[in-house]
Amino acid sequence: MTINPLPPAWQAQAAAVTACRLCPRLVAWREQIALEKRRAYRDWEYWGKPVPSFGDPHARVLVVGLAPGAHGSNRTGRMFTGDASGEFLYAALHRAGFANQPTGVNIDDGLVLKDLMLAAVCRCVPPDNKPSPDEMLACRPFMLAEMDLLAPIQGIVCLGRIAFDNVIAIYRDLGFNLPPLEFSHASFARLGADLPWLLSSYHPSRQNTQTGRLTQAMFDAIWERVRRELTA
């Protein structure tokens, strides 16, 4: 089954991401997890490599998360697929009309996104879900390349403070004089002429969703705002 068929440039980008071995700590950790597995997934052949971005190659919105989950994307090989964060995210995207189905369980499940590309600050699963600053910096060229492939994008949705901080750092390092910006849930900012708008959300991690810090209604409001902001 063909899911969000990728143009050659995106195929090359995915291949470059998948082949990366720049960070020894992350290479060792992702491969250790893929070898040891979780008992519930002992029959799976884990992906165990960096995870490429997933979505619409003509997306008008880039969605940025933190990193693959140990037994989610690191197992399935697709962003936000196979764990609780993905369940919460894809259900919301389906309700908002950005996904053709409410679930994402594996790369052959028929999931297709419209107008969104899902990326991450770090493309490998990090120990304790905490990539180091150097590891995030090593991954940054992948984000920059994808921003170029999607240009001009209309907006960026940051899932969590780390995604927000990294996106802001990218634009400032590129020489853009951005206004003072602080992360908070549902914060919205226009970065400037010819730059995308920026919308922030708490990350749909189990820690946030099970404690009520991020509710379904709060998350739905994020994607409703995205829908309102998109222009033809």
User: Are 111 and 90 spatial neighbours (Cβ–Cβ below 8 Å)?
Assistant: yes
- The architecture in CATH of the region 8-229 reads 3-Layer(aba) Sandwich (3.40)
Q: Could you check whether the bond before residue 152 is cis, i.e. omega within 30 degrees of 0?
A: yes
Asked if 107 and 3 touch (Cβ cutoff 8 Å), the reply is: yes
Segment 63-109, tens digit of pLDDT? 999 999 999 999 999 999 999 999 999 999 999 999 999 999 999 99
- Tell me what pLDDT residue 31 has: 98
pLDDT for 4 equals 54
At residue 6, the pLDDT reads 85
- DSSP alpha helix (H) spans, the chain: 8-18, 24-36, 73-76, 84-95, 133-150, 161-173, 206-209, 216-229
Tell me what pLDDT residue 1 has: 38
135-153 pLDDT, tens per residue? Answer: 999 999 999 999 999 999 9
What's the pLDDT score for residue 217? 98
Q: Return d(Cα 222, Cα 121) in angstroms, integer.
A: 20
pLDDT at 2 (0 to 100): 40
pLDDT at 232 (0 to 100): 62
Note the Cα 66 to chain centre separation in Å: 7
Q: Output the tens digit of pLDDT for each of the chain's 232 residues.
A: 345 578 999 999 999 999 999 999 999 999 999 999 999 999 999 999 999 999 999 999 999 999 999 999 999 999 999 999 999 999 999 999 999 999 999 999 999 999 999 999 999 999 999 999 999 999 999 999 999 999 999 999 999 999 999 999 999 999 999 989 999 999 999 999 889 999 999 999 999 999 999 999 999 999 999 999 998 6
pLDDT of amino acid 231? 81
